[in-house]
Chains A and B, each alone.
Chain A
Amino acid sequence: MPTGTEPDKTEDQTVTGTLARPVTAETLPKVRGSLPRWAIGAFLVGSLVLVGAALAVVGFSVGLWVVLSAILFAVVTYATSRVVEGGRKATDRLVTVVVTGAFLLAMIPLISVLFTVISQGWARFDLQFFNSSMRGVVGEGGGALHAIQGTLIITALAAVMSIPVGVLTAVYLVEYGNNSRLARAITFFVDVMTGIPSIVAGLFAYALFSLLLGPGVRLGVVGAVALTVLMIPIVVRATEEMLKIVPNELREASYALGVPKWRTILKIVVPTTAGGIATGIMLAIARVIGETAPLLVTVGTALGVNLNPFDGRMATLPVFAYYSYAVPGVPREPFIDRAWSAALVLMLIVMVLNIVARLISRVFAPKTR
């Protein structure tokens, strides 16, 4: 085993030559001890107490305490384990400590994000936030009704445009593509599309419409086109994966009954995986509903309600949150509060979409046998 650890010589002898030598204490296989179960916990508590006591003398800080304790704990565990259990076990224990530590370290900012958004957003998470717009609001009060409506309208428009194209493309790739040159090209370019930065999609939509309607165009539908560019590849990927797991027997059984291919796809293949496709679509919507950059450059923002995506600027939740925070009015606080609340609402929408997607995929799991 190329692990860089030396096998115990005594172990070799037990395999090849136990009988060649008299059995004495020296020739018996060396039995390594192992640390008792409580030892690790004791080390951890010990490190925390020791470092805590040391810091209490020079000045306490939570961050320093945790970091130094973790280092001390890792060193003590490795050293003791190396003496008692040998090098390989010690390395194993060290890696366990490092992996767990890295995991906890990674969780800190993520939990901090969730905690901050919820605690800060709670301040303005009231009825007024959901039933009034910002028209005529100077300081306190006001809400994000217009932004919520704008986000829903633009995302719905994007979904209407991208779902048919995405699903049909996936059907083509799986059912008709046959690995032809066109199918391979589509697969490749869908991959490329997945990597388009969202702001570039926004610039594309702006460039397209400014050539058609003149420069400086700001419409809801332009933002929807930008989101469509971002959403199509996600829908294609998800649908393709789902269609691929439909067993061929189902298709062949249908053909054997004389059903034409298009009816087989519509009545057999797609319904079999409808739940999975719906899950993929929900996740795609969740991905694009929080996009800020493309909407910033294509839709702009507005103070009042605008329900017509073909006429003038619209407010959207992410852009509303951005502008409220980046260019607050006077006094500052109400704007900052509204920004956090908008972020909270946006996050809740995304989480609900994710959870609904999971529920759909669990309830309507594809019946593959």
Chain B
Amino acid sequence: MTTTEVKPEPKAAKPVEQLGDRIFAGSAKGAGILILVVLAGVAAFLLAESLPAITDSGSELPEGLTAYIAPLVFGTVVSAVIALVIATPLAVAVALFISHYAPRRLAQTLSYIVDLLAAVPSIVYGLWGIGVLAPATVGFLEWLNTYLGWIPLFAGPPSVTGRTMLVVGVVLAVMIMPIITAVAREVFLQAPKLHEEAALALGATRWEMIRLAVLPFGRSGIISGAMLGLGRALGETMAVAIVLSGTGVVTFNLISSENPLTIAGNIALQFPEASGLTVNILIASGLVLFVITLLVNMLARYIVERRRDFSGAN
């Protein structure tokens, strides 16, 4: 039988080909193509369903679609950025602790716990956020407002329920921390042992060894983990929907009860009751969220690819 492959593998032995082979190869290829079709479908159907909202001339939204979505985009970005700023340093520290500071046996247990926490459903974090964290922060918010009120972020007046942007950011940070930690830990553990031992042999202290051998190697891992977490925080729905009662304002004031909602949180709150054009408007906002996360993911991939060539690992 002549070859059906365009490029025969040079090193592997040429296998016998049968009818079964063609069926199996075809179905494997078909599954792969199906994934491409599904993804194209996601984009196409979202676009098709949001077209009515885009072309609509102000019957439902007098101010237009952009004016409706802009505060939501703002809220999405602000909450995700707060989460990332809090979670990344902590996650890197936890990953370092597990990989280079904790005793071996404790480290194993801690890894399991972190992996388990990364799998805890978001609704659990959401319930914790409104049931425990929000009431616990009320006093802290007042303190922030009293002593740091001159910073626009803490201008207040502080919320009396604790259901604020800052709390949402912290809940999201708690959610994405195990994810970033898991990625960073894997990379830190893969740092070349010989580099570490060489650094120690030259008299480096443990911190110097980490700075010279582990962190340069792990930099791209930290970035990709952080971007993974950012993507998760941008798209996180339930924690936001359950904690925030948004008012559609654009403000950097993180501790008042007037907060912008996020795209995902807004969809979760509005969609179950929505009908008619409102559904299309919400789907259009979902399309915007899709594009934002797509851009973040591509940026992450680009950074990781570019860093790979220059990282200390080579």
Contact = CB atoms under 8 A, between A and B. Distances in A.
Interface of A: 1, 3, 88-89, 91-92, 95-96, 98-100, 102-103, 105-106, 109-110, 112-113, 116-117, 120, 164-166, 168-169, 171-173, 175-178, 180, 182-183, 185-186, 189-201, 203-204, 206-208, 210-211, 215-216, 229, 232, 236, 248, 251-252, 255-256, 258-266, 283, 286-287, 289-293, 296-297, 300, 318, 321-322, 325-326, 339-340, 343, 346-347, 350-351, 354, 358
Given A1-B208, A199-B267, A321-B127, A113 B120 contact: yes
Q: Which 10 A-B pairs have the closest CB atoms?
A: A197-B235, A290-B121, A102-B93, A168-B31, A262-B24, A293-B237, A92-B205, A172-B28, A195-B297, A207-B45
Interface of B: 5-7, 9, 12-18, 20-21, 23-25, 27-36, 38-39, 41-42, 45-46, 48-49, 89-91, 93-94, 96-97, 101, 112-113, 115-117, 119-128, 130-133, 170, 174, 177-178, 181, 202, 204-208, 210-212, 228, 231, 234-238, 241-242, 264, 267-268, 271-272, 275, 279, 282-283, 286-287, 289-290, 293-294, 296-298, 301
B42 A200 contact: yes
A249 B217 CA distance: 32
Nearest to A288: B121
29 contacts: A89-B205, A95-B210, A103-B94, A166-B31, A169-B28, A180-B7, A182-B32, A189-B35, A192-B294, A194-B297, A195-B297, A196-B290, A198-B237, A199-B235, A200-B287, A200-B293, A203-B46, A207-B45, A215-B275, A229-B42, A232-B35, A260-B15, A261-B21, A292-B121, A293-B264, A296-B271, A297-B272, A346-B121, A354-B116
Given A169-B28, A189-B35, A258 B16 contact: yes
Contacts of B296: 195
Given A3-B204, A183-B32, A215-B275, A339 B127 contact: yes
Contacts of B117: 110, 113
Nearest to B203: A1
Contact of A112 (B30, B126, B132, B241): B132
Contacts of A105: 90
A106 B28 contact: no
A297 B39 CA distance: 19
A283 B112 CA distance: 13
B237 A260 contact: no
Given A102-B90, A106-B91, A292-B122, A1 B286 contact: no
A212 to B, nearest CB: 10
Nearest to B290: A200
A47 to B, nearest CB: 20
B198 to A, nearest CB: 11
Contacts of B297: 191-192, 194-195
A110 B130 CA distance: 15
A119 B181 CA distance: 26
B169 to A, nearest CB: 13
Which of the listed residues A99, A177, A215 has the most CB atoms from chain B within 10 Å of its own CB?
A99
Given A88-B208, A197-B293, A346 B124 contact: yes
Nearest to A166: B31
A340 B128 CA distance: 9
Contacts of A216: 275
B87 to A, nearest CB: 9
Contacts of A283: 119
A180 B84 CA distance: 37
Given A113-B125, A321-B123, A340-B131, 7 more contacts: A106-B90, A199-B264, A200-B42, A290-B121, A297-B268, A321-B127, A322-B126
B119 A178 contact: no
Given A113-B128, A292-B123, A178 B36 contact: no
Given A210-B49, A251-B12, A169 B35 contact: yes
B74 to A, nearest CB: 17
Contacts of B34: 165, 169
B13 A255 contact: yes
A177 B212 CA distance: 39
B205 A100 contact: no
B93 A189 contact: no
B238 A100 contact: no
A186 B36 contact: yes
Given A186-B36, A200-B46, A318-B123, A99 B212 contact: no
B262 to A, nearest CB: 10
A204 B94 CA distance: 37
A322 B267 contact: no
Contacts of B90: 102, 105-106
Give the one of A95, A263, A300 with max B CB within 10 A: A95
A195 B294 contact: yes
Contacts of B131: 116, 120, 325, 340
B196 to A, nearest CB: 14
A326 B190 CA distance: 44
A105 to B, nearest CB: 7
A207 B46 contact: yes
A295 B34 CA distance: 23
Nearest to A301: B272
A116 B129 CA distance: 11
A200 B35 contact: no
A186 B36 CA distance: 7
A279 to B, nearest CB: 12
Nearest to A171: B28
A265 B24 contact: yes
A110 B178 contact: yes
A318 B121 CA distance: 8
Given A110-B117, A195-B297, A201-B42, A347 B97 contact: no
A367 B7 CA distance: 30
Nearest to B275: A216
Nearest to A298: B271
B70 to A, nearest CB: 19
Given A99-B97, A191-B297, A191-B301, A204 B120 contact: no
